[in-house]
Amino acid sequence: MLPYKSLIQVDRHSSVALYIQVCNLFISLITDGTLQPSDLLPSSRTLAELIGINRNTVKLAYEELISQGWAESIERKGVFVLSSLPILSKTKLPETHKDNAPQEAFLWTNNFKNAVPSKNLQKTILTIDDGFPDVRLTPIDQLMREYRSISRKFYGKNFLKYGSSKGSEHLRIAICNYLSNTRGLAVSPENILITKGSQMGIYLAAQLLLLPSDHIAVGISNYLCADETFRQAGANLLRIPIDDNGMDIDYLEALLQRKTIKAVYIIPHHHCPTTVTMSMERRLKLLKLAKEYRFAIIEDDYDFDFHYDNKPYLPLASIDHNQNVIYIGSVTKTFAPALRIGFMTGPAAFVEAAASLRELIDRQGDTVLEEAFALMFDNGEMDRYFRKSLKIYKQRRDMFCEMLKSDFADQIEFKIPEGGLAVWSAFDQKINLIKMAADALKKGLYIDDGIFYKNESFSANGLRMGFASLEEHEMVEALKILKTIIS
């Protein structure tokens, strides 16, 4: 007989009934090959004594096994593993290849072996992040109040049903008004798709635009997740230089004369990672080239709302009269990153196709949350939040840059950004950013190690240093730790 005393161990503190625990343990013994078809199970009396439970509990477990089709009772003989079950071999440890890697249970394609893991910033630790909003400033209580209010009203129950894959019509109307008022962008609700953040918009656009071996132009320095999204679609990335005036459109023009380019991905407003803003001259020339060579422009405008020194340039989408621009933005990148609300606009047929594709990934978003955000736009709460946070973030930017200038003059080069929530910081080549990040963590400070910003063409010893999420005393403490480490 098998050593059931050690094989069948129950947890009396578990919320799962004892007889169900026994039943499940027997199922595991059957499925891993320890028990084979037609094997006799111990009598209820014997098993009860071995594992120290009531005999009736064992009987209930056997009845459950029989009802689920794992066992059968034969009169005057006992309970047996069902004879018609397939014979399963005893579970073995995974086999290994010559390189000592374990053999997978099934064949699949892993295109993400070298992916940079995402950062978990939800832990409470002093952090110099990539450039995110201070979630302590967001009117989250008002948002949750609207959320609860909607869910309690009789018409709010309808929002718990399936809705449009384009997202809440109420929010799409609110976004239309918001884009018109802030960016001079005239768009109808039907031409807006609500997404789970701007990343979903980039993915949808890539899937609709790009076929394997197509060319897409991107910056030499660029948002890594966008690069990986285009590669996943099978596209070839053509790197275009970035300078203080943004993407070099003359270089792009020369390239267009030699290669067929399907799309250009661009962040003209606070380029990621370097924070530079594209000049109006280059914007107009890019639109002219798009019309002439018939390529799409994917305009990622993730943080338009935070611009400090002058009025921000209008997006390409606002001055595009040929419908070449697919415009992608984010509400929650400037509100709270974990609340995934973004949007995408473009030609009507393109947006319809994107909505159909979105259904295959994620049927729809959180309609109640979308409705709550719509109300926040309607009642002016979002506008008040943007105006309040813009003032605070400008003060923090100025203080952060002053501290960098006074305390890190020999170690960090930077330019004061016109907008955005981070400073692109080029560190002295002698400073190992990976070691710096590890040493900082030991002293209670999280800071990026710079790997996220590197690619096959760009390897600057730099990183984005976010100032927006740091209060004054936190900024002082964080930079004090950093100074201690790199000195």
**Positive or negative: CA dihedral 160, 164, 165, 171:** negative
Query: Do 200 and 302 reside in the same domain of the chain?
Result: yes
CA distances from 203 to 217, 380, 456 (A): 16, 31, 21
Residue 113 lies in a domain: no
Query: Do 339 and 409 reside in the same domain of the chain?
Result: no
User: What is the reported pTM?
Assistant: 0.83
* Pairing status of strand 412-413 against strand 342-345: unpaired
What's the pLDDT tens digit per position in 323-359? Answer: 999 999 998 778 888 888 999 999 999 999 999 999 9
Res 99: pLDDT: 60
Res 366: pLDDT: 86
Query: Do 256 and 305 reside in the same domain of the chain?
Result: yes
C-alpha to C-alpha distance for 68 and 23, rounded to whole angstroms: 10
C-alpha to C-alpha distance for 147 and 149, rounded to whole angstroms: 5
What's the pLDDT tens digit per position in 109-161? Answer: 887 777 777 777 677 789 999 999 999 999 999 999 998 888 888 787 787 77
3-state SS assignment for residue 15: coil
Residue 88 lies in a domain: no
Query: Do 239 and 297 reside in the same domain of the chain?
Result: yes
Residue 158 lies in a domain: yes
Res 169: pLDDT: 94
Res 91: pLDDT: 63
Res 278: pLDDT: 94
Read off the DSSP letter of residue 95.
P
Query: Do 190 and 336 reside in the same domain of the chain?
Result: yes
Q: Which structural domain range is residue 477 located in? A: 126-133+393-486
**Neighbouring residues of 30: CB distance < 8 A, sequence distance ≥ 6:** 70, 81, 85, 88
Which residue type, as a one-letter code, is found at position 265?
A: Y
What's the pLDDT tens digit per position in 189-201? Answer: 999 999 998 999 9
- Per the CB < 8 A criterion, the answer to whether 116 and 224 are in contact is yes
Res 98: pLDDT: 57
On average, the pLDDT of the chain sits at 91
Nearest to 330 by CA among 454, 444, 442, 223: 223
Query: Do 180 and 301 reside in the same domain of the chain?
Result: yes
Query: Do 221 and 361 reside in the same domain of the chain?
Result: yes
Query: In this predicted structure, which of 102-116, 242-256, 272-286 has the lowest mean pLDDT?
Result: 102-116
Q: Is 309 exposed, middle or buried (0-12, 13-18, 19+ CB in 10 A)?
A: exposed
Last residue of a domain, one of 333, 356, 379: 379
Query: Do 458 and 424 reside in the same domain of the chain?
Result: yes
Residue 95 lies in a domain: no
Structure-block tokens of residue 18: 């004892």
User: 152-160 contacts: CB < 8 A, separation 24 or more?
Assistant: 156/368, 156/371, 159/367, 159/368, 159/371, 160/367, 160/368
Query: Do 358 and 481 reside in the same domain of the chain?
Result: no
Into how many domains does the chain fold?
3
Tell me which residue has tokens 């970035």: 242
Last residue of a domain, one of 349, 379, 409: 379
C-alpha to C-alpha distance for 248 and 279, rounded to whole angstroms: 10
Query: Do 244 and 281 reside in the same domain of the chain?
Result: yes
CATH of the domain at 276: 3.40.640.10
Tell me which residue has tokens 């009598």: 43
Residue 9 lies in a domain: yes
CATH of the domain at 404: 3.90.1150.10
What's the pLDDT tens digit per position in 32-91? Answer: 999 999 999 999 999 999 999 999 999 999 999 999 999 999 998 999 999 999 988 776
* Pairing status of strand 215-219 against strand 263-266: parallel
Q: Is 154 exposed, middle or buried (0-12, 13-18, 19+ CB in 10 A)?
A: exposed
Query: Do 363 and 430 reside in the same domain of the chain?
Result: no
CATH of the domain at 13: 1.10.10.10
Residue 336 lies in a domain: yes
Residue 105 lies in a domain: no
Last residue of a domain, one of 321, 344, 379: 379
Query: Do 316 and 212 reside in the same domain of the chain?
Result: yes
Residue 338 lies in a domain: yes
